[in-house]
């Protein structure tokens, strides 16, 4: 038993003598790992008499737990010391005048939000906002996606734990709930766009758990598909800066619109680069449709009096297309070199309306 006391004293001294996390981990493996002193003693248990084992076993377990606790305490101390040292060494004085090399730049998403906003405000839309932590009602139910609807599964939703009323909030899976909030908060006519962050549990080269969408909603008397088509075509021309761009409406399904369509734009691939506008290929850029009469009823509007259209578009996707950015994940990697390459000068305010349209659409 003296043995155990000695081992505890030795190892404790070694733990306290270690000054970095790597060495602490090596010490843990050496002493408590498979070939460590404690494990070797554990192995001896098998050869003991039941009486010896009854006495020695708990002591050995106690030693193991005590040493593991000491290691984890030491780890916490070392981690805190390392963090403090890092905070001290990375301290920056934000009151200093910026150097030219340290100049920031505008993220492509911010630039796209500005450009989209510019195009739609010029058409008479205003900008609406809604919360990113959303109630199930706005994100799904009011949009004609009831509890058992398969579209709920399609959204890979991030749910919050149940609240005291058994309700679970969600990270909004799309910007469409802003339609509902807008219609419930005011009186028609409505003409809004709602750019913002959206969330789905998905990650690969073209999906990130957080991404951006813009929603558009128009509600008035006598609104029809012609208004929808013109608005989208006008947007596409201005955004991609091309005079001639083929736009195709493909029948589709969304619970909140009827009829629904997906919008493709014409394109071609030259030397591995996309040219937007002409060509035999198509790229899908958004979902749209006439607001479903059930949605209008859900917000207290009479579908016989008011009609409207809506669309939703991925902002990350249209940025990738406009500037030829191949991997979506890079948008959120916070890499300054990437931002220097794809970013925009702080003075490069969106000036699409004053820039002439080109035939090719490339920047």
Interacting residues toward ligand DAH by CB under 6 A: 174, 176, 215, 254, 257, 287-289, 310-312
Q: Which is nearer to ligand DAH, 249 or 254 (CB)?
A: 254
Helix (H, G, I), strand (E, B) or coil at 198: strand
∠ CA 161-204-310, nearest 5°, is 70
Q: Which is nearer to ligand DAH, 28 or 157 (CB)?
A: 157
Angle in degrees, 0-180, between the axes of helices 2-17 and 21-32, rounded to the nearest 10: 160
Other Cβ atoms within 10 Å of 13 Cβ, number:
9
Q: Which is nearer to ligand DAH, 228 or 339 (CB)?
A: 228
Q: Which residues contact 330 (CB under 8 A, 6 or more apart)?
A: 338
User: Cα-atom radius of gyration of the chain, to the nearest Å?
Assistant: 30
CA-to-CA distance for 226 and 223, rounded, in angstroms? 8
Query: 3-class secondary structure for 93-145?
Result: CCCCCCCHHHCCCECHHHHHHHHHHHHHHHCCCEECCCCCEECHHHHCHHHCC
Least distance between ligand DAH and beta carbon 289 (Å)? 5
Which residue of this chain has its Cβ atom nearest to ligand DAH in the complex? Answer: 312
The residue count of the chain comes to 363
Supply the DSSP string of 280-323, one letter for each residue. SEEEEEEEEEEEPHHHHHHTT--TTT-EEEEEEEEHHHHHHHHH
Beta bridge partners of 284: 264
Q: Which is nearer to ligand DAH, 310 or 318 (CB)?
A: 310
Contact call for residues 79 and 281 (beta carbons, < 8 A): no
Helix (H, G, I), strand (E, B) or coil at 93: coil
Q: Which is nearer to ligand DAH, 111 or 257 (CB)?
A: 257
Least distance between ligand DAH and beta carbon 157 (Å)? 12
Least distance between ligand DAH and beta carbon 155 (Å)? 8
Least distance between ligand DAH and beta carbon 154 (Å)? 8
Least distance between ligand DAH and beta carbon 331 (Å)? 18
Q: Which is nearer to ligand DAH, 219 or 288 (CB)?
A: 288
Q: Which is nearer to ligand DAH, 71 or 295 (CB)?
A: 295
Least distance between ligand DAH and beta carbon 117 (Å)? 17
Q: Which is nearer to ligand DAH, 26 or 248 (CB)?
A: 248
Least distance between ligand DAH and beta carbon 79 (Å)? 41
Least distance between ligand DAH and beta carbon 362 (Å)? 27
CA-to-CA distance for 104 and 98, rounded, in angstroms? 9
């Amino acid at each position: 038993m003296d043995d155990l006391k000695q081992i505890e004293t030795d190892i404790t001294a070694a733990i306290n003598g270690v000054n970095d996390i790597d060495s602490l981990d090596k010490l843990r493996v050496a002493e408590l790992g498979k070939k460590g002193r404690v494990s070797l003693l554990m192995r001896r248990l098998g050869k003991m008499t039941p009486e010896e084992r009854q006495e020695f076993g708990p002591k050995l377990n106690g030693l193991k737990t005590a040493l593991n606790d000491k290691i984890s305490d030491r780890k916490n101390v070392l981690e805190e010391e390392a963090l403090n040292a890092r905070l001290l060494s990375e301290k920056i004085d934000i009151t200093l005048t910026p150097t030219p090399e340290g100049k920031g730049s505008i993220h492509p998403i911010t630039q796209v939000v500005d450009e989209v906003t510019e195009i739609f405000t010029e058409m008479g839309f205003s900008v609406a906002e809604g919360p990113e932590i959303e109630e199930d009602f706005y994100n799904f139910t009011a949009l004609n996606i009831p509890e058992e609807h398969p579209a709920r599964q399609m959204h890979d939703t991030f749910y919050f734990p149940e609240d005291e009323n058994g309700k679970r909030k969600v990270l909004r899976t799309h910007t469409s709930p802003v339609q509902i909030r807008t219609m419930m908060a005011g009186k028609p006519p409505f003409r809004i766009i709602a750019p913002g962050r959206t969330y789905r549990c998905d990650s690969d080269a073209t999906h990130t758990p957080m991404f951006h969408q813009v929603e558009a909603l128009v509600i008035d008397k006598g609104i029809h598909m012609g208004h929808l088509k013109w608005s989208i075509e006008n947007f596409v021309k201005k955004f991609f800066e091309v005079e001639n761009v083929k736009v195709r409406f493909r029948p589709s399904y969304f619970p909140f619109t009827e009829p629904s369509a997906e919008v493709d734009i014409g394109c071609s691939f030259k030397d591995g680069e996309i040219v937007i506008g002409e060509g035999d290929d198509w790229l899908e850029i958004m979902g749209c449709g006439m607001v479903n009469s059930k949605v209008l009823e859900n917000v207290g509007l009479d579908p016989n009096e008011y009609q409207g259209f809506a669309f939703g578009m991925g902002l990350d996707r249209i940025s990738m297309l406009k500037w030829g950015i191949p991997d979506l994940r890079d948008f959120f990697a916070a890499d300054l070199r990437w931002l220097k390459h794809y970013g925009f000068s702080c003075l490069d305010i969106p000036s699409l309306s004053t820039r002439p349209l080109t035939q090719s659409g490339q920047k």
